[in-house]
Every structure is written in structure tokens, then in C-alpha cells.
Amino acid sequence: MTTTQYDTIIIGAGHNGLVAAAYLAKQGKKVLVLERRSIVGGSVVTESFAEGPRRGEDDFSVDSINTGGTLRPDIIKDLKLASHGLSVDSAPQPFITLLADGSPLTLDAESIKRISEKDAARFPEFVRFMDKAAQIMDVTYATIMPRLPMNFGIREGYGLLEWGLELRLAGRKDMLNFIRALPMTAQELVEEYFESEIVKAAICAVAIHGSTMGPMGAGTGYTLIHNWMNRGGLAHKNVGKAGEITSALANAVKAFGGEIRTEAEVASILVENQIANGVVLANGEEISADRILSSADPKHTLLKLVGAQDLPPEFVWHTQSIKMRGSVAKMHLHTNRSHGIPEGTVVLAPSIKYLEKAYDATKYGEISEKPYLEVTTSGNVVSIHFQFAPYALRNSDWKVESGKVAELAIKTLEEYFPALHASRITHHIITPQDMESTYGLTEGDLNHGQLMLDQFLFMRPIPGWSNHKTPIDNLYLCGSGVHGGGGISGAAGRNVVRALK
């Protein structure tokens, strides 16, 4: 058992943990990042699923969970990530939906014309509003939320003032529409702009992506804006380069003098008199620090690593009540490149009802018979994001279902891209349970807690604790489960550093 004194220990080397670590290391703090896996990245990671040592052109390597992504520009600049290996491509990428006849339709003003002149004419205004809404959302996520309903101080109040100003500067109409859009259903929102079902459904697919909600659910207006903000539009950017983000961050941490240890699973956080002062690793090693930041999800951090015994009962109750409910499965297909799938983000979302019905299955703990699929390609690998595949299956278990889900996903996709069949070499499936056991996402929830209106703003992760703090002194949350989190923005990891002061 060794003991080394660190200023800050950061649990988890996901993007938020690394962002926080890099900022702190840059300030000259002695930081140690502890990562359970043998690689850094968390759910922002590019891995090879090849069996045996296959490398080079034919490598089976792909963004495992999150597809590509872009950190906030200020983070990239502050941490000089370009010099640490991050190549950011902000060029717009095609977002393609599949028509009933199997042909692809790219969502841009020009291509939509062949479906509807009206929709094509409305498209630029929709994009303008969404960009504006995303900008307001970005400022919202950069504002540390006060601990409502408790009293909040002047500093928090100042942040809110900035946020209010941004809303106001957005112009009266856009501000109102932004506020109005949040609780709306994605269906209602898109219906205000478009008439053709295929266009509306394709946009609704982005709204429900990663969330356990259907496009007819209240609050999918919010998730649409959230995903739009993180993607910078409808389509993913930097596909195949998720790992580059986190490896550049890891490089930055080290360059600033921080330390990262992989295969160092934190088993518990040491707490004495409600003050955190270190961690215990799975191998029994104790490491002390003045401060602990956890980028693991709030449920795991508080109920597993701290333990309910050391926390106030109401706080425990709220933490237990955080809705996780992951329902995404990922399939990565290793092909010979002749799969026939176009580049960009391709969605199978023929109608809003189709998406809603796909979601309905989760209510009954079942897997969608006709799933919403989002497909991206990177080199020879085809990735399928499959919704909905609930973490908790009512009448079966994932040992039985994983093979069936892979088969269903592939079969469904092959109906649109017959060339895929002959092109396939092998595949790798990541079930919601794998997301928990391999990637540390409790209940397979990509966002460390559903992005819902009651788990949003000052209610994220739980009401009264929206400022990264916990009832344990010197223990802070900095993962996707706190305000600013969800998606690859890095906002939560950046905000926590300000909350420490």
C-alpha cells in the first residue's frame, strides 16, 4: 500500500474527467486521473475489435460508443489541443434519411426539393433557428446552475445574469421560441416547419437519439436542441475520431504535468466525517488527495463509491431516483468496404409513428421489432446505433437477446443496402449491459442520466445539487450526469473547475 499526496484525484478518464484534469494541471495542480480500463476515453473512444493482430488498412477499428464529436471551441483553445494531436473538422457532413424505395435523401435545402418545395423553402429558417437555439443552449451549459431552491450567492447570480442576457440578446422572438421549444415534443416542433413525413421523421430521429423517449414525448424539443448543439447540426462530425479527442486530452494532461493511471479501478471513495480525502483502488491501494472529482455517473459515484451510509437520506432517495434507462445497442460491422452505404450520418426513420412505436417497446421492457437505426461508416467499418434496446429486459436477458438484436439490425439495414450482405466479415455488438460493465455507464445510459426536463438545469443531477458539489466536502461531480453534461462538449469537465474556487 502506497500513499502519495495529490491535490486532486479525478475518477474516470472520459472526456469530462480529462478536461477537468487538464484545466487543473494547467493551473499547476498535482492531479491524478484514475481509469478503470486499460485505455483512456470512457465512452469517447476508438477501439479495434479485430480478433488477433490485424492492423493497417484492414483494421476493425471504430468509435465504440459515441460517434465522433467536437469539444467546445474554448476548451480546444484553452488546452491547446491542436498541438496535442486533435484535428478538428468542422465542415458540414451529410445527414441522410432513407426513403421507402431504399434511395437516400440528404437533408439540405436543395435535396429536399424533390420531396417538397415548401419544406425546402422552410429548411434554411429551421437551420437558422436551431443554430440560434444551440447557441443559447451552449451558454446555458456554460452557466453553473444555482442550488435552487436554496439561496444562491452573488457569483452564481452573476452567471444567471449572463445567461439571461444571452437569452435577451437572442432577440425576443428567438428567445421565446427557444423557451417554448424545450418542453415541446419534437413532432410538434418539426410540424411547425415541415409538411413531409420523411423530413419531419428524420429530424425527430436526432431528437430521440441516445434518449429513451419517443418523438411524441414532451421534452424532445429540448433533446433535439441538445443533440443539434453537440453535433453542430444534424449530422455527426469527426466520425471515427472519437478516440483522438480523448487521446489529445490525455496528452494535454500529461503535458501540463498531470498523471494518468489506467487499469486503476476506484473501488471506493474514502470519507471521514463527511469529508472525502482519498480513494481505494480495487487492488486495495489507498491514494489520498485534498479533493476528489468524479466523472463517473452520479449513481455510481454516490451509491457505489461513497455508499448510501455516508449520505443524507433525502439525498440518497433523490440519487436513487435519477432516471438512467439506457436503451441503445451498438453494432459494428467489419466489411470489405463494398457495403454500399454512403458517407455521412444515415438514419432509418421512415415516419414519426415508426419512431414512436420503436420507443413504445421500451415501456414494456422489450426490444423494438422495427428499430430506429443510425448508421455511420468509417473506412471499412459500418456502425449501427440501434434504438430501442432497453437495459432491463422484462421477459428475457441480454445473453439471449444480443445475437438476435445484431441479426435484426443487420437484416433491417441489408433491406436498404443489399451489398452489405456480401461485404460483411464479422461484427461486434455492444449491448446496454456491456455499456455498463465495459464502459461504466450505469444502466447503459449514454448521458449518465436521461436528458429530461426534470433532470435538466438546476435539477441535474438532482434538485438542490446542481453546482457540482455533493454532501461530502471535497467531492465533486464532473461527468455527463451534471448540468452541462450529455454529449461530447466537455462543458461539465470545464465548469467543475470554476465551481471549485
Partner 1 sequence: MLNLNLKTTPFHERTSALCQPQNWRKWAGYFVVGSYEHVLDREYWAIRNSAALIDVSPLIKYVIQGKDAAALLHRVTTRDIHKMKVGQVAYTGWCDEEGKLIDDGTVSRLEERTFRLTAAEPNLRWLTMNAVGMDVSITEVTDDVAALSFQGPNTRKVLNKVTEKPVDELKYFRLMTNKINGADVTISRTGYTGDLGYEIWMDAKDALKVWDALMEAGSDYGITPVGILAMDMARVEAGLFMLEVDYTSTTHAWIESQKSSPFELGLDWTVALDKPGYFVGRRALEKEKREGSAWKMVGLAVDWVGMEKLFGKVGLPPQIPGSAIRASLPVMVGNVQVGYASTSTWSPLLKTYIALAHLQKPYYEVGTDVRMEITVEHHRQHAPAKVVKLPFYEPEWKKK
Q: Would you say 106 or 274 has its CB closer to partner 1?
A: 274
Least Å distance, CB 315 to partner 1, is 8
Pairing of strands 345-348, 328-335: unpaired
In contact, 182 and 221? CB cutoff 8 Å? yes
Tell the residue number behind the cell numbers 477537468, with chain if given.
Answer: 20
**Segment (H or E) for 62:** strand 61-63
Least Å distance, CB 298 to partner 1, is 15
Can you tell me whether residue 34 is helix, strand or coil? strand
Q: How many CB atoms lie within 10 A of CB 57?
A: 8
Least Å distance, CB 444 to partner 1, is 22
Query: What's the rounded Cα separation, in Å, for the pair 419 and 345?
Result: 18
Per-residue contact string for residues 312-351; x = within reach of partner 1 by CB under 8 A = xxxxxx--x-------------------------------
Least Å distance, CB 316 to partner 1, is 5
Per-residue contact string for residues 290-309; x = within reach of partner 1 by CB under 8 A = -------------x---xxx
DSSP code string of 405-473: HHHHHHHHHHHH-THHHHHEEEEEEE-HHHHHHTT--GGG-TTSS---GGGSGGGSSSTT--SSB-SSB
Q: Which stretch binds partner 1 (CB under 8 A): 158-166, 240-248, 266-274, 290-298?
A: 266-274
Give the bridge partners for 374, in sequence order: 347, 385
Q: Would you say 50 or 308 has its CB closer to partner 1?
A: 308
Q: Would you say 157 or 312 has its CB closer to partner 1?
A: 312
Q: Would you say 284 or 313 has its CB closer to partner 1?
A: 313
Query: What's the rounded Cα separation, in Å, for the pair 267 and 36?
Result: 10
In contact, 34 and 10? CB cutoff 8 Å? yes
Q: Would you say 467 or 489 has its CB closer to partner 1?
A: 467
Q: Would you say 53 or 313 has its CB closer to partner 1?
A: 313
SS3 string, 280-347, reads EECCCCEEEEEEEEECCCHHHHHHHHHHHHHCCHHHHHHHHCCCCCCCEEEEEEEECCCCCCCCCEEE
Least Å distance, CB 151 to partner 1, is 13
Query: What's the rounded Cα separation, in Å, for the pair 496 and 500?
Result: 6
Least Å distance, CB 286 to partner 1, is 18
Least Å distance, CB 435 to partner 1, is 23
| The three cell numbers locating residue 415 | 433491406
Q: Would you say 102 or 307 has its CB closer to partner 1?
A: 307
Start-to-end CA span in the chain (Å): 32
Least Å distance, CB 264 to partner 1, is 24
Q: How many CB atoms lie within 10 A of CB 402?
A: 19
Query: What's the rounded Cα separation, in Å, for the pair 450 and 457?
Result: 13
Work out which of 116, 262, 268, 274 binds partner 1, going by CB under 8 A. 274
Q: Would you say 150 or 179 has its CB closer to partner 1?
A: 150
Q: Tell me which residue of 105, 114, 161 sits closest to 348, measured CA to CA.
A: 105
Q: Would you say 151 or 273 has its CB closer to partner 1?
A: 273
Least Å distance, CB 86 to partner 1, is 41
Least Å distance, CB 273 to partner 1, is 8
Per-residue contact string for residues 183-222; x = within reach of partner 1 by CB under 8 A = ----------------------------------------
Can you tell me whether residue 11 is helix, strand or coil? strand
Any contact of residue 149 with partner 1 (CB under 8 A)? no
# binding residues, partner 1 (CB under 8 A): 16
Q: How many residues does the chain have?
A: 501
Pairing of strands 275-281, 266-272: antiparallel
Work out which of 190, 203, 264, 311 binds partner 1, going by CB under 8 A. 311
Work out which of 290, 310, 360, 414 binds partner 1, going by CB under 8 A. 310
Q: Binding to partner 1 (CB under 8 A): which residues in 68-107?
A: none
Least Å distance, CB 313 to partner 1, is 4
Interface residues with partner 1 (CB under 8 A)? 271, 273-274, 303, 307-317, 320
